[in-house]
Amino acid sequence: MKYNLYIKLFAISILAINFLFSNFEKEIQTKLILASPGDIITIPAGSQSILSTLSLEGKENITIRGMGIDVSTLSFANQDNGAEGLRIINCKNIKLENFTVEDSKGDGIKVQDTDGITFHNIKTEWTSGPNSNNGAYGIYPVECTNVIIDSCIAIGASDAGIYVGQSKEIIVKNNEAYHNVAGIEIENSINADVFENYAHDNTGGILIFDLPDLLVKKGGNVRVFNNKVENNNLNNFAPEGNIVGFVPAGTGIMVLATSDIEIYNNDIINNKTVGTAIVSYFMTELEITDSLYNPYTSAIHIHDNLYTSKKQIPTLKHDIGKLFFFKFGRNVPDIIYDGMADPQFKDDNGIIYDDRKLCIHDNKNAEFLNLQIDINFEKWYTPFLTCFSRDISEFNCEHSSLKEVQLNK
């Protein structure tokens, strides 16, 4: 009896696809439903108009392959059903390669609860340019394990072009992200290597965040190296209320409320407000209601980066930019720390343990600033009157290098 019911439901779903969708859309969605391990689902050359979210669920060892970026395009410009372009849920060993997703109503490609997901030579774009009505995320794996994002392009996302959230064992390499609010964001994720990427002309180039009120409470062990982070001076166009809305235009790399991060061998070029920021969640000025959340940074290691900055005005659309312009004019320091050390890692004399310190060394052309917000931001006007510390000697230390990410195959 139950078997007959399943057969009927399956037949109804196929009939619904045939009724609602275009020929190509019917064909590819049917292939996604019927896919068996080892199948390769091909997207032909040309621009294919898609009206509803394409879904792959509960499958293993499937490849979705196009003929190349901007050769095979899934266009969701007329989408009237669903919250994503392509949605993949509860799968294992999925590979996406050689195609473009354009103008989805919501996220470009969302992959959730999947072990083994590879994005290779994928492009996501909102073709009307930066706009708060664009989808939040371009390439968006969340709650995944063994993630590879390689040789992809992400353009125009109103949150993050490439976003990895609440995931572990992650490699993000050889990608280009531009005209997003955040180019690349690693959030509440464990064991990530972010390298050989070009993040440019976003609001913020690369963000490493831990945020409250999520299932995964703590990320860390993230290496950011050999990237080019340039001209991330785009006005912030995130919809009101999004956490990335607090990121000031002109941010190169930002580390927020996370720990065990190593940033090295990057070229950080002409980000007008801050080259690298290390800040606690308190900088957002948002209330913390999650009792398990740790809002501080610790064990951050910044070394052997090259900072290049031309004299330019920091953003005046953000309070911190206005403060920096008032204090420093066109010569804003490159590495800025909010000064909020985690009190649980301090000894009886208030000295932070060596293995939990912020360590900064051997960066070229880098000027340092310690905001010490706990004592310098008591009133709205006090930061304008104070003389911030530029002394880096307290932070002239080294941590052991973090280990390379090893994917579990």
Is residue 208 a part of any domain in this protein? yes
Asked if residue 1 belongs to a domain, the reply is no
- Provide the token pair at 340: 């909020």
Q: Flag residues of the chain having pLDDT under 70.
A: 1-22, 409
For residue 125, give both structure tokens. 């774009």
Question: How many DSSP H helices and E strands does the chain contain?
Answer: 5, 30
Q: So what's the pLDDT on residue 178?
A: 98
Three-state DSSP class for residue 370 = strand
Does residue 281 sit within a domain?
yes
Q: Determine the pLDDT at residue 151.
A: 98
C-alpha distances out from residue 118 to 189, 286, 344, Å? 17, 35, 38
Instruction: Provide the 10 A C-beta neighbour count for residue 335.
Output: 26
User: Is 188 within the bounds of a domain?
Assistant: yes
Question: Left, alpha or beta for 61 (phi > 0: left; psi -120 to 50: alpha)?
Answer: left
Evaluate whether 96 touches 69 at the Cβ level (below 8 Å).
Answer: no
Task: Judge whether 313 and 330 are in contact, CB under 8 Å.
Answer: yes
pLDDT of residue 382: 83
Alpha-carbon separation of residue 233 from 178, 203, 340, 345, 362 (angstroms)? 11, 5, 26, 35, 26
Please report whether residue 312 resides in a domain. yes
33: in domain: no
231 within 8 A of 273, measured Cβ to Cβ: no
19 occurs within a structural domain: no
pLDDT at residue 409 in the model: 67
Rounded to the nearest 10 degrees, what angle do helices 2-20 and 23-34 cross at?
Answer: 150
3-state class (DSSP) for residue 387: coil
Sign of CA dihedral 243, 244, 247, 252: positive
Q: How many domains does the chain have?
A: 1
Q: How far is residue 352's CA from residue 330's CA, in Å, rounded to a whole number? A: 33
Distance between CA atoms of 109 and 397, rounded to whole angstroms? Answer: 41
Q: List the domain range (segments joined by +) for residue 386.
A: 126-395
pLDDT of residue 70: 97
pTM for this predicted structure: 0.93
Distance CA 212, CA 223 (A): 22
Looking at residue 333, its pLDDT comes to 95
* Segment 1-59, tens digit of pLDDT: 444 554 545 545 544 544 444 689 999 999 999 999 999 999 999 999 999 999 999 99
In this structure, are residues 367 and 400 in contact, taking their beta carbons and an 8 Å threshold?
Answer: no
In a domain, 296, yes or no: yes
